[in-house]
Amino acid sequence: MSVYAVEGLSLSLNGAQLLEGVSFAIDKGGCTALVGASGSGKTMSCFAPFGLAPGTPTGSARLEGAEMIGLAEPALRPIRARAGFVFQQPLTALTPHLTIGSQLAEAAGTRDRSALAAMLDRCGLPEAKLDQYPHRLSGGERQRALIACATAHDPALLVADEPTSALDAGLRHAILDLLDRFRERGMGLLLVSHDLPLVAKHADRVVVLDGGKVIEDGRAADVLERPQHATTRALIAASPRLDSPAPLLPEPGAPLLSASGINVRFGKLAAVSGASFDLREGEALALVGRSGSGKSSLARAVARLGPCDSGTVTWRGDPLPPRSRMRAEHRRCLQPVFQDPAASLDPHWTVQQSVEEPLRHLFPDLASEARAERAAAALDEVELGSAYAKRRPATLSGGQAQRVAIARALVADPELILLDEATSALDVLVAGRILDLLGKLQASRRLAILAITHDLAVARALCHRTAVMDAGRIVETGDTAATIAAPQSQALRDLVSAS
């Protein structure tokens, strides 16, 4: 019996046809996965029937037999309440000024702490996270908290838009195993994912979308092992692999940055303990580890974007000032590209305004015409061009938003960029193009890169060396290819076996 059935779903907005004749069904306890390139219509197909996307959908969408298409919001609301939603961007989906416990209590309809702790525990989070605010959690921890909220009321259907994109390889499977246990109780799962090995293991059926249309549909094993359409074959071929040929990387230059004995605490929690590493001109270093291992906290401490309780950082041999005393000439040298480009771009600003923003602060004497010229050059360098200058973040795909974020980092002409999970939210085709772009920039600019990632294939494709973090400590460092081929630490062995 189908818990959710969609037939002939179509959607247009401002004259553009976003969806056309999309059909699929999910049985009670079943899982249907929507896959496709960025902009193919996956997310719109998930959320349009529930009134959570712009435009007015046509066709049919029935949840537990109740038709949703054509209903006004008051009539739609109680039907929608039988579903749970996990959105792609947990940082924007969670309320920043409320604790995780308060948000989970709202979703569950109870404030019983033991019950809320149990809900977190089944998603792999300790009870202490109930008292934390979203910004104090890692990207993976925020995603797990969001899943806990979405499943707190035992929905008939869970709509999960890239629920594992911010998680390391081991946790990706653990989260889907968790959702499989919910499915055993009868919950249906509508999954959007660019992780095709994950889809192959957990989905019953796969629907491949391209240009808002279904181009292939069938049993997961049939579609992924014997794809019929060229787009499906391209998606499978683009999936990153650890046994891919080693990339040709530029030779590193002189010493650039050195971090020694870095410690970061959040209250009683030791996020980073005694971490040290070095980085040279034109070199890329990957910080890898499980979600919550301290990767982002360490990188932000070193770049003076977050707290650093103790330790020293030098830039070309000179001490780097603490965060409160960083000047423009220091900030210019180290520029970040954050994990969630949609959250880091101001929704009210145009692309040009966002790219120009660092210049206003770092080069206050620069004339407006010169700022515009440098912004245009940066957009060209990331292969977007001037056609995107007047667009706003809401009109960009995930890959386009990430290119804008990279352009914003490059416009100040930095010597080092900090990449925080730069491809984790992107489909495999777009992620591959972003990695190719970063490789070109590394070679042409002699750009040093500090890359935070849980994806060993990304580290192998981009980085000379890899530092492995576990429980706030660096437990292994070495040449990326050699380290992955012969891991010495249990943390890295676990990541390799799960990849």
Judged against a pLDDT cut of 90, whether residue 72 lies above it is answered with yes
At residue 373's C-alpha, the angle toward residues 372 and 374, to 5°, is 95
Q: What is the pLDDT of residue 353?
A: 94
Domain boundaries, the chain: 2-238, 255-498
pLDDT tens-place string over residues 174-194: 788 888 988 998 999 999 988
Judged against a pLDDT cut of 70, whether residue 166 lies above it is answered with no
Q: What is the pLDDT of residue 190?
A: 97
Fold match flag (2-238 vs 255-498):
yes
Q: What is the pLDDT of residue 95?
A: 93
Judged against a pLDDT cut of 80, whether residue 132 lies above it is answered with yes
Average the pLDDT over 287-292 and give the result.
87
What confidence tier does 79 reach under pLDDT thresholds 50, 70, 90? Answer: very high
- HEC per residue, the chain: CEEEEEEEEEEEECCEEEEEEEEEEEECCCEEEEECCCCCCHHHHHHHHHCCCCCCCEEEEEECCEECCCCCHHHHHHHHCCEEEECCCHHHHCCCCCCHHHHHHHHHCCCCHHHHHHHHHCCCCCHHHHHCCHHHCCHHHHHHHHHHHHHCCCCCEEEEECCCCCCCHHHHHHHHHHHHHHHHCCCEEEEECCCHHHHHHHCCEEEEEECCEEEEEEEHHHHHHCCCCHHHHHHHHHCCCCCCCCCCCCCCCCEEEEEEEEEEEECCEEEEEEEEEEEECCCEEEEEECCCCCHHHHHHHHCCCCCCCEEEEEECCEECCCHHHCCHHHHHHEEEECCCHHHHCCCCCCHHHHHHHHHHHHCCCCCHHHHHHHHHHHHHHCCCCHHHCCCCHHHCCHHHHHHHHHHHHHCCCCCEEEEECCCCCCCHHHHHHHHHHHHHHHHHHCCEEEEEECCHHHHHHHCCEEEEEECCEEEEEEEHHHHHHCCCCHHHHHHHHHC
pLDDT tens-place string over residues 84-117: 999 877 778 899 999 999 999 999 999 999 999 9
Judged against a pLDDT cut of 90, whether residue 420 lies above it is answered with no
Judged against a pLDDT cut of 80, whether residue 281 lies above it is answered with yes
Give the pair of three-digit tokens for residue 258. Answer: 């050195």
Judged against a pLDDT cut of 80, whether residue 7 lies above it is answered with yes
| Bridge partners for 334 per DSSP | 416
Q: What is the pLDDT of residue 430?
A: 76
What is the C-alpha to C-alpha distance for residues 210 and 215, in angstroms, rounded to an integer? 7
What confidence tier does 222 reach under pLDDT thresholds 50, 70, 90? Answer: very high
Cα 59 to the chain's mean position, in Å? 32
| Among the listed residues 246, 281, 209, the one whose alpha carbon sits nearest the alpha carbon of residue 446 | 281
pLDDT tens-place string over residues 356-370: 999 999 998 889 999
Give the pair of three-digit tokens for residue 343. Answer: 């959250």
Judged against a pLDDT cut of 80, whether residue 258 lies above it is answered with yes
Average the pLDDT over 346-351 and give the result.
92
% of the chain surpassing 70 pLDDT: 99
Q: What is the pLDDT of residue 142?
A: 86
What is the C-alpha to C-alpha distance for residues 350 and 236, in angstroms, rounded to an integer? 35
Which residues are CB-neighbours of 351 under 8 A, at least 6 positions away? 379, 384, 388, 389, 390, 391, 392, 393, 396, 404
pLDDT tens-place string over residues 33-53: 999 987 789 989 999 999 998
Reported as half-sphere exposure (CB side, CA atoms, 13 A), residue 216 has a value of 21
| Bridge partners for 218 per DSSP | 206
Cα 410 to the chain's mean position, in Å? 21
What is the C-alpha to C-alpha distance for residues 357 and 156, in angstroms, rounded to an integer? 45
Report the CATH fold assignment for 255-498.
Rossmann fold (3.40.50)
pLDDT tens-place string over residues 297-334: 999 999 999 999 999 999 999 999 999 898 988 899 99
What is the C-alpha to C-alpha distance for residues 359 and 489, in angstroms, rounded to an integer? 43
Reported as half-sphere exposure (CB side, CA atoms, 13 A), residue 337 has a value of 29
Judged against a pLDDT cut of 90, whether residue 216 lies above it is answered with yes
Average the pLDDT over 160-164 and give the result.
86
Q: What is the pLDDT of residue 425?
A: 67
pLDDT mean across residues, the chain: 90
| Among the listed residues 74, 27, 363, the one whose alpha carbon sits nearest the alpha carbon of residue 219 | 27
Average the pLDDT over 379-405 and give the result.
85
Report the CATH fold assignment for 2-238.
Rossmann fold (3.40.50)
| Bridge partners for 314 per DSSP | 258, 319
Sheet of 213-219: strands edge to edge? 83-86, 157-161, 188-192, 31-35, 205-210, 213-219
Q: What is the pLDDT of residue 433?
A: 80
Average the pLDDT over 334-358 and give the result.
87
Average the pLDDT over 370-393 and give the result.
89
What is the C-alpha to C-alpha distance for residues 393 and 400, in angstroms, rounded to an integer? 9
Judged against a pLDDT cut of 90, whether residue 429 lies above it is answered with no
